[in-house]
Chain A
Amino acid sequence: GNSVTQMEGPVTLSEEAFLTINCTYTATGYPSLFWYVQYPGEGLQLLLKATKADDKGSNKGFEATYRKETTSFHLEKGSVQVSDSAVYFCALTVTGGGNKLTFGTGTQLKVEL
């Protein structure tokens, strides 16, 4: 089956610190990979995606590279802000899988001044 494993949170950082949130996956078939973000009191929003190996998704200063050899899609940002405090979800879908997403458990990020 398909599964996504994320590092457990919460992750607490000071503003302007470097962020890494690890994500690894297993998939039957060729997956597309996503990072979603959930701000307090809101639903999930797509942050970035990558659909094939070695693709890099990027948005709002966040980046993640699809690494097929290590089955990973780690999220990084060079300098976090307080406004980045949220829960981050790694997810995958496989082609022909009916567009169903498999999510990780989410990683809460807290950024302090």
Chain B
Amino acid sequence: ETGVTQTPRHLVMGMTNKKSLKCEQHLGHNAMYWYKQSAKKPLELMFVYNFKEQTENNSVPSRFSPECPNSSHLFLHLHTLQPEDSALYLCASSQNGGGPYEQYFGPGTRLTVT
């Protein structure tokens, strides 16, 4: 138990569906991250939020839409996904500032796009 929870743990969706992934951290951190983990590839940083403001978007397609309503919650809204978007989506949080600070990861959401 790292203090970061993610729901759902597994999600199967069609290419025309709209769904959302949720992440919540109970660690008092002010930075939150979305990563994509695909087989045989390094973890890909997708988005970074610091104090609820998006500070990084690594050229992620617009079919992925993040939302950070407060420092404890992070969402990833999904729509019209492609089969190649099937992956494990990991959320992480950390203190922010100069660093380096350890990132704490949630268990991930295993997404399958059919």
Contact = CB atoms under 8 A, between A and B. Distances in A.
Contacts of B45: 100-101
Name which of B4, B97, B103 has the most chain A CB atoms within 10 A of its CB: B103
A102 B2 CA distance: 20
A83 interface: no
A33 B45 CA distance: 17
Contacts of A102: 42
Interface string A48-64: 01010000000000000
A95 B2 contact: no
Contact of A98 (B43, B48, B92, B104): B48
Interface in B3-32: 4, 6, 31
A103 B90 CA distance: 13
Contact of A101 (B4, B97, B103): B103
A94 to B, nearest CB: 8
B105 A99 contact: no
Interface size class of B (residues with CB under 8 A): 20 to 34
Name which of B2, B42, B90 has the most chain A CB atoms within 10 A of its CB: B42
Contacts of B102: 34, 46, 49
A4 interface: yes
Given A89-B43, A98-B55, A43 B4 contact: yes
Interface in A71-111: 89, 93, 95-106
A32 interface: yes
Given A32-B99, A43-B92, A44-B92, 9 more contacts: A43-B90, A45-B105, A46-B103, A46-B104, A49-B100, A95-B100, A99-B94, A99-B97, A101-B43
14 contacts: A43-B90, A44-B43, A44-B103, A46-B102, A95-B98, A99-B95, A99-B96, A99-B101, A99-B103, A100-B45, A102-B42, A103-B43, A104-B42, A105-B41
Interface of A: 4, 32, 34, 36, 41-46, 49, 51, 89, 93, 95-106
Interface of B: 2, 4, 6, 31, 40-43, 45, 48, 50, 55-56, 90, 92, 94-108
